Amino acid sequence: MDINIRTDSARTNSHALSEEIAFATGTSALGTVLVAGNAHGVCAILIGSEAGELVADLAVRFPHNTLVQQDRKLDGELMKILRFIEKPARGLDLELNINGTPFQRRVWDALCGIPAGQTITYAALAHRVGKPGAVRAVANACAANAIALAIPCHRVIGSDGTLSGYRWGVERKRALLAREAEV
């Protein structure tokens, strides 16, 4: 597997009220990248066109937390993410603080088992998590993922092979898959 995920299982489904979340932004071939983390690990990796929209998205995702820009604190994590975007074969080793429902966690865990350069359909992913009739719920779990790249939702494609729906934009999905295909 190209992504190493370490989580604090006692903290995966909630964040303490008013807990501080530090964030930093950087520029990549995919656009602006925001990484956010707390004392328990990286809780968000967001990709977009400009930092302001990503900070606003972070605020919506963590409305009860205090957001503080701390570039130095997250420099190591940001550099790992930027290197991963350029060379996915190197892998991405981050300590993650994953916030999701048990079903979302099953979907995200299954996604982390898909190697770089490979894809899976939403239907096959639904089968893999033991819910073959839950294709739409699987798609919703992918859309709810706040940890782009580390939880590789970009590796999910439509049943007809098309690059459908990606929270961060289909063009970014296409670029990520192309980079991974070079592995």
What are the backbone dihedrals phi and psi of residue 147, each rounded to the nearest 5 degrees, phi first?
Answer: -120, 70
The residue behind tokens 């919506």 is 60
Q: Which residues neighbour 43 within 8 Å (Cβ) at sequence distance 6 or greater?
A: 15, 21, 36, 37, 62, 96, 97, 98, 99, 146, 147
**Residue (of 54, 16, 13) closest to 36 by Cα position:** 54
Residues in the chain: 183
Which one of 43, 112, 142, 153 is the catalytic residue?
153
Q: Which residues neighbour 4 within 8 Å (Cβ) at sequence distance 6 or greater?
A: 91, 92, 93, 94
- Does the active-site annotation cover 153? yes
Which residues belong to the active site?
A: 153
